[in-house]
Amino acid sequence: MSTEATFSRGLEGVIAAESALTYIDGQKGILAYLGIPIEELAEHSTFEETAFLLLHKRLPTRPELQKFTEDLASHRPLPAPIVELLKALPQQAPPMALLRTTISALGHFDPTADDVSLGTLHQKAVQLISQLATLTAAIGRLRRAQEIIPPDPTLPHSANFLYMLTGKRPSAEAARVFDVLLILQADHEFPASTFASLVVASTLSDVYSAISAALGALKGPLHGGASEQVIRMILEIGDPAKAEPYIKERLARRERIMGFGHRVYKTYDPRARILKEYVQKLALQAGDTRLVEIEQIVEKVVIDALGAKGIFPNVDFYSGTVCYYLGIEPELLTPIFAISRITGWMAHILEYLEDNRLFRPTTRYIGPPLRHYIPIDQR
Decide if 239 is inside a domain.
yes
Q: What is the pLDDT of residues 72-82, one digit of tens each?
A: 999 999 999 99
Q: What is the pLDDT of residues 16-31, one digit of tens each?
A: 999 999 999 999 999 9
Decide if 141 is inside a domain.
yes
Decide if 285 is inside a domain.
yes
Decide if 321 is inside a domain.
yes
Across residues 311-319, what is the average pLDDT? Answer: 93
Decide if 13 is inside a domain.
no
pLDDT for res 2: 44
Q: What is the pLDDT of residues 317-345, one digit of tens each?
A: 999 999 999 999 999 999 999 999 999 99
pLDDT for res 4: 62
Which domain covers residue 201, as residue numbers? 23-356
Helix, strand, coil percent values for the chain (each to nearest 5): 60, 5, 35
DSSP assignment of 236-294: HH-SHHHHHHHHHHHHHTT---TTB--SS-SS--HHHHHHHHHHHHHHHHHT--HHHHH
Instruction: State the catalytic residue, choosing from 187, 206, 269, 316.
Output: 316
Instruction: State the catalytic residue, choosing from 75, 157, 262, 348.
Output: 262
Task: Answer yes or no: 316 catalytic.
Answer: yes
pLDDT for res 304: 96
Across residues 238-250, what is the average pLDDT? Answer: 96
Task: Answer yes or no: 372 catalytic.
Answer: no
Write the CATH number for 175. 1.10.580.10
**262: burial class by Cβ within 10 Å (0-12, 13-18, 19+)?**
buried
Amino acid at position 181, single letter: L
Number of domains in the chain: 1
Instruction: State the catalytic residue, choosing from 25, 71, 114, 223.
Output: 223
Task: Answer yes or no: 122 catalytic.
Answer: no
Decide if 243 is inside a domain.
yes
